[in-house]
Structure 1
Amino acid sequence: MQKDNLLKERTSRLKAIKKLIKNNRIKSQEELLGLLTNEGYEVTQATLSRDLKLLKVGKVSDGHAGYVYTLPGEDDRGESEEIFVQDFMRGYVSIEWNDSTVVIKTFSGQANSVANALDSLNLNEILGTVAGDNCIFASLRKNVTGEHFMKALKKHIPNLDD
């Protein structure tokens, strides 16, 4: 009987963790522990760490100097895309292209976040990206022009400047 109660408590706690991560930009386990406590859950840092591993929680750049927790999975696609768009918009400065290469200039230290965001949008027009500190090279697929790439990118980021 006690095992059933522990399982129900854990399932309830895991649901609460998912809800908190979806609805808040949580930067640390301490912050998450505080939110869980406010929800009525008493949990140790070690248990929380195991729960995060079980849920396959990761961290993505917040576009500044830190990271926030994120959940994997198809059910988060719209919300995740919104985060990727925000990361892209926070970091990029300009976009130029030639026949087969797009060059995206970013603020210093933001190229990896912007490239990750771009890769996560899964644009068919791109073969791959390479990021430095403040610049990204994106290789376009055969017969894809820079204009075609920009049109595809603007489907995900309508307010993107040319």
Structure 2
Amino acid sequence: MRKSERQQYLRQLINQNNIERQEDFVSLLTQDGIEVTQATISRDIKEMQLVKVPSDGGGYHYSLPVQKQLDTQKKLKKTLNNAFISLDMLEKMVVVHVQPGSGPALATLISQMNFGEIFCTIGDDSTVLSICRSISDAKGFKAKINSLLTN
């Protein structure tokens, strides 16, 4: 199965199921006769910018990202407001803690914004670290994140 077909199938699975873990994707695909590894699913999740959103019965499940017609800033604002936990700064570094699964998408969106004050941004499952060019740039970037959260 080609990557594009697999990712389309993942979209269908997300629309039909509350998928909480990458292993759930692997199990559902295996049940349908599609052999795939957890590492492949992990890469697909990152590329598709899937996010985890709260489930009705508690916990979190994967969801499709904001529709493509929204511009990057709107996507960034929505992702922040849906997944935000905390924001902190240390010298030139700004850290955003988010719901599990949201870190890669948020890091990508921050990078796509091309903020001049940011040297680089790194994201893992639930943390995004932006290293700014100066302490004043870090303060300015932190203020931008705060403004996206409050508006």
TM-score by length of 1: 0.49
The separation in 2 between residues aligned to 1:97 and 1:68, in whole angstroms, is 27
**Paired residue for 1:159?**
150
Secondary structure of residue in 2 paired with 1:97 = strand
Alignment-derived partner of residue 100 in structure 2: 108
Deviation at 1:102, TM superposition (A): 0.9
Q: Once the 2 structures are TM-superposed, how far is the Cα of residue 79 of structure 1 from its aligned partner?
A: 3.6
> In structure 1, what is the equivalent of residue 115 of structure 2?
123
Structure 2 SS opposite 1:136: strand
How far is the alpha carbon of 1:70 from its aligned partner?
A: 4.7
Pair 98,80 (structure 1): closer, same or farther in 2 beyond 3 Å: closer
Where in structure 1 are there 5+ consecutive unaligned residues? Answer: 1-26, 32-57
SS in structure 2 opposite 1:103?
A: strand
Q: Is the 8 A contact 2:66 2:75 kept in 1?
A: no
TM-score normalized with structure 2 length: 0.52
Structure 1 CA distance for aligned equivalents of residues 84 and 142 of structure 2: 14
Q: For the Cα contact (< 8 Å) 1:96–1:102, is it kept in 2?
A: yes
- Rate the CA distance shift 1:120–1:89 in 2: closer, same or farther, 3 A: farther
Q: CA deviation at 1:154?
A: 4.5
Runs of 4+ displaced beyond 6 Å: none
State whether residues 97 and 127 of structure 2, in contact with CA within 8 Å, keep that contact through their aligned partners in structure 1. yes
Superposed CA RMSD? 3.0
> C-alpha displacement at 1:91, in angstroms?
1.6
The aligned residue for residue 66 of structure 1 is: 63
Contact 1:88 1:113 in 2 (8 A): no
Higher relative contact order (CA 8 A, sep 6+): 2
Whether the aligned pair in 2 keeps the contact of 1:123 and 1:153 (CA below 8 Å) is: no
1:86 maps to 78
Question: Structure 2 counterpart of 1:67, which letter?
Answer: L
Q: Percent identical across equivalent pairs?
A: 12
Q: 2:148 matched to 1:148?
A: no
Asked if structure 1 preserves the Cα contact closer than 8 Å seen for 2:77 and 2:149, the reply is no
Cα distance in 2 for residues equivalent to 1:79 and 1:145? 24
Counterpart of 2:35 in structure 1 is none
Letter in 2 for 1:66: S
- Alpha-carbon distance change, 100 to 107 in structure 1, aligned in 2, over 3 angstroms: same
**Counterpart pick for 1:133 among 122, 125, 131:** 125
